[in-house]
Amino acid sequence: MEIMQTENRVIVSGCGPVGAVTALALVKKGIPVTLIEQLPDAAEDQRAATIHTPTVEMLADLGLEKEMFSDAPSGGMAAPLFHFRDRATGELVAVFDINLLKGEVPYPYVVQWEQYKLVHAALPHIRASGLGEVRFSSKLIGLSQTEDHVEATVGNEAGETEKLRARYLIGTDGGSSTVRRLAEIAFEGFTWPERFIKIGTSFDFGATGQGLCTRNYFFDPDEWLNLFKVKGYGPPGIWRGVLPVPESESDEEALSMENIQRRLQRIYQKSGDYEIPYYALYAVHQRVAQTFNKGRILLAGDCAHVNNPIGGMGMNGGIHDAVNLTEKLADVWFGRADANVLDRYTRQRRTAQIDYVQAQTIENKRKLEERDPAVRRKHLDDLRRTSEDVTLHKKFLYRSSLIDSLTSANAVE
């Protein structure tokens, strides 16, 4: 069957950071896109903020450099340093400096740029391309495919439905993906018994004399902590703490203002309450889809894999999927490659996930929460030794920045 003009497009379902980057990468390659999102507008999602070195390069290549490095609150903050600390003693165990990779990578730092700011930066470029249509209040509720097209059923808030056809559909609709479910793709892995709480405060932990940098990881058997700074809505910025919530604590208890204040007072005891612009509780999973391509249906981002946020790898890995997938899809689209190349997308990106992102984030969590004092001491000593030896330090940076994951995955045939 010949594909009609309006069907000569790719549908991207879900306008989070991965959907927005996927749509942008496609229109840049000359492929028409319809990006659908169930919400009435792009969500102000306060989850991811750390953009690793290779991802910064990818976003710059997509034309987002100006927005990413803008001095305005909508832009990001370059941050080359990260610290590991022992929470009980306050000991600064190790300082890592991505600047050591200067000359080896174009952007030797992470950029702290909240994920919703990235989405807001990408959307005008998608629209301005003349090839990208963005539809909000459009929820994917049905999906089928034939040999030469996909058909998506999309519903709006009024309960009306519409059928959209396309040559391919990419699911970027997050961890509880409808696309993955309708395509009957298994999501293998497990869910941690504890949940993670994220608390944002405008209180400046950087001015408490503890010598904190922009990204700080604290070891603690009872309550490990990730404490990071973002620009937020402008000066003085927002510090975000991410901490574990034990299985025994109910959601209601964890989200009570008393407990939220108590958690912050344990980070730094101060008089009066903390001002708290936002907080949220998350269930945490480690799962990878059995395949990232099934016929004309493709998966990317959290739709394809989820992991705990320690190390900031979820969205980064999803953006790496988007860049890998759109290159291959463009080759198929313009007749430069056979559709089998999409199997290679799955092989490459599942390798990146399983061998690196899943393995690393599980190891990061286990180390931060280690209960045995002798084992914890060993982790701390190893980290210090690693940071003090230039060769080991750089090796650590290559792995933690996901550069190794990209190199290994891209070498998979």
Ligand X SMILES: Cc1cc2nc3c(=O)[nH]c(=O)nc-3n(C[C@H](O)[C@H](O)[C@H](O)COP(=O)(O)OP(=O)(O)OC[C@H]3O[C@@H](n4cnc5c(N)ncnc54)[C@H](O)[C@@H]3O)c2cc1C
Task: Give contact residues for ligand X (rule: CB under 6 A).
Answer: 13-19, 36-39, 43, 45, 47-50, 115, 139-140, 172-174, 178, 196, 198, 242, 282, 301-303, 309, 312-316, 318
Nearer to ligand X, 16 or 76 (CB): 16
Q: Which is nearer to ligand X, 18 or 342 (CB)?
A: 18
- Closer CB to ligand X, 88 or 362, in the complex: 362
d(Cα 36, Cα 55) in Å, to the nearest integer?
24
Nearer of residues 23 and 380 to ligand X, judged by Cβ? 23
Query: Count of H helices and E strands in the chain?
Result: 13, 20
* Shortest CB 271 distance to ligand X, Å: 28
H or E segment and range at residue 228: strand 225-230
Q: What are phi and psi of 186, to 5 degrees?
A: -70, 150
User: How many whole angstroms separate alpha carbon 55 and alpha carbon 22?
Assistant: 13
The residue (of 10 and 380) whose beta carbon lies closer to ligand X is 10
Residue 243 or 383: which CB sits closer to ligand X? Answer: 243
Nearest C-alpha neighbor of 287 from the set 395, 192, 370? 192
Q: Are strands 187-201 and 110-112 parallel, antiparallel or unpaired?
A: unpaired
* C-alpha to C-alpha distances, 81 to 28, 95, 98, 118, nearest whole angstrom: 33, 7, 6, 22
Closest distance of CB 49 from ligand X, Å: 5
Angle, to 10 degrees, between the axis of helix 403-410 and the axis of helix 314-333?
30
User: Are the CB atoms for 297 and 143 separated by under 8 Å?
Assistant: yes
Closest contact distance (angstroms) between CB of 174 and ligand X is 3
Which residue number has the CB closest to ligand X?
Answer: 16
State the nearest-atom distance from the C-beta of 288 to ligand X, in Å: 13
What is the gyration radius of the CA atoms in the chain, in angstroms?
22
Query: Shortest distance, CB of residue 413 to ligand X, whole angstroms?
Result: 26
